[in-house]
Amino acid sequence: MYLLNFIQKNCRKRWFWLLLATSALALESVALFFQYEMKLSPCVMCVYERVALFGILFSCLTVYLSPKSLFWRLLGIILALISSIKGILISLKHIDYQLHPSPWNQCEIIPNFPHWLPLDKWLPFLFQPTGSCSDIVWEYLGLSMPQWITIMFVTYIIIFTVILISQFIRIQPNRLIFHKND
């Protein structure tokens, strides 16, 4: 209960949402490091996973603008949860492409963005895929990149679920073990 009280009190402060946004931005930076410094080509699923992570980033920044407003907090939390859930679904499909490669189980070559939001045309350095989804090009501790991304999205789901739950509890007053006699 103490953790929920702590989260409820601090999620009304800007630093809390800036910290969450910074974590998403740091993970996006790691993706760019892998792409441009380690020369690992992102596939379509990698690009979709980036979009989900940007969804978390922008949701946190939305709440950052007005953290005291319950409406904006709930909107940001729900959007971040939706992005996290979508991200985990994408990463699980990506893992399936890697573990069960076949001519009938392959990802698209060109990203399928809406015509009104062609991210691959607007920001090709971020959203232009050049790799294959079934290739395992990097592993750490025996897990491939999509498996680590799944862990990342599970972590975000847990974080935003706890934050959402904390919005509906009553803050408990601090209880003193020893009371002063006045």
Assess contact for 170 and 8: CB atoms under 8 A. no
Q: Is 170 a catalytic residue?
A: no
Q: Is 50 a catalytic residue?
A: yes
The one catalytic residue among 43, 60, 170, 175 = 43
Q: Which two tokens stand for residue 57?
A: 């980033």
Q: Is 107 a catalytic residue?
A: yes
The one catalytic residue among 11, 60, 73, 133 = 133
Give Cα separations from 143 to 71, 98, 139 (angstroms): 39, 12, 5
Q: Is 133 a catalytic residue?
A: yes
- Helix (H) or strand (E) run with residue 162 in it: helix 145-166
* Separation CA 135–CA 38 (nearest Å): 15
The one catalytic residue among 14, 60, 107, 170 = 107
The one catalytic residue among 46, 60, 73, 175 = 46
Residue 39 region by backbone torsions, left for phi larger than 0, else alpha for psi between -120 and 50, else beta: left
Q: Is 46 a catalytic residue?
A: yes
The one catalytic residue among 11, 50, 60, 73 = 50
159 C-beta neighbours (distance < 10 Å), count: 18
Catalytic residue numbers?
43, 46, 50, 107, 133
